[in-house]
Amino acid sequence: MKDIMTAPFMVEMIRTCTNMYAHGWDERNGGNISLMLEEEDVKEYGDTSRVLRTIPTGFEAPALDGKYFLVTGTGKYFKNVQYAPDVNLGLVKIIDGGKNAQLLWGFSDGGKFTSEFPAHMMSHAVRISVNPANRVVMHCHPTNLLAMTYVHTLDEKAFTRTLWQMCTECIVVFPDGVNVLPWMLCGTNEIGEATAEKMKTARLVVWAQHGLYGAGVDLDEAFGLIETAEKAAEIYMKIAGLPLVNTITDEQMHLLEGRFGVKAREGYLS
């Protein structure tokens, strides 16, 4: 059996957590990641029949029954993942239609997955129905996107168009736009359900005055989506309130659609 610490999914998860902390997106224990894995990804690094303990999930997700997830732990600091991955991460298998999860590795201090695991699983279930290749849901607190929710309308079309106008690459990277939720109590199934509903039409969902959910086919895509949107928000926060002399026009964004083979969200460009 190979050492699980050498598994590509483990190496990339540790790198991603470390980078997110370094970017200032995941202060203290703020933020969480879940990476969906197939049994063939896992079995050469561990005995999938050896269950350490069973943890109730507090939700149902029949579409994810039998799926494996590498997930960050509740109350865990992203800065510590690289030093003690077996404490801060856990590998689980979803069973009983999503009601329970079998812990196969990790959470060695007796911990369990993030309190937002239900929200992650609801989003995973929706995203694989939209794109079966989706494997990642990522939550963090990017500074400028968070700041933007205090000074910009939360209308999704307006919010998206502002971000698209900040960087040429934005409409290429997230042509599906950004969806936005008003402030809601975190760690509840209600915000999980609302986020999952928004995930039907976009891979980025802003939680006003809180943070962001991002989804992707792998850790790089989810990270890159967030990184691009956060850069756009940073530019916006630097120029908000200043006289706007130039911008990226709708005509120019249509040119980007053609050049890069993407299609902007219906109705968002003139």
List the catalytic residue out of 116, 156, 221, 230: 116
Active-site residue flag, 44 = no
CA dist 24 to 13, 17, 203, Å? 17, 11, 21
Cβ-proximal residues to 174 (8 Å cutoff; 6+ apart), any chain: 163, 202, 203, 204, 225, 228, 229
Structure tokens at 204: 């980025």
CB 9 within 8 A of CB 135: no
- Residue for token digits 């990277």? 173
The 10 Å Cβ neighbour count of residue 185 is: 8
Task: Please state, in angstroms and rounded to a whole number, the distance separating the CA atoms of residues 117 and 130.
Answer: 20
Indicate the burial class of 245 (C-beta count within 10 angstroms; 0-12, 13-18, 19 or more): exposed
Active site residues: 116
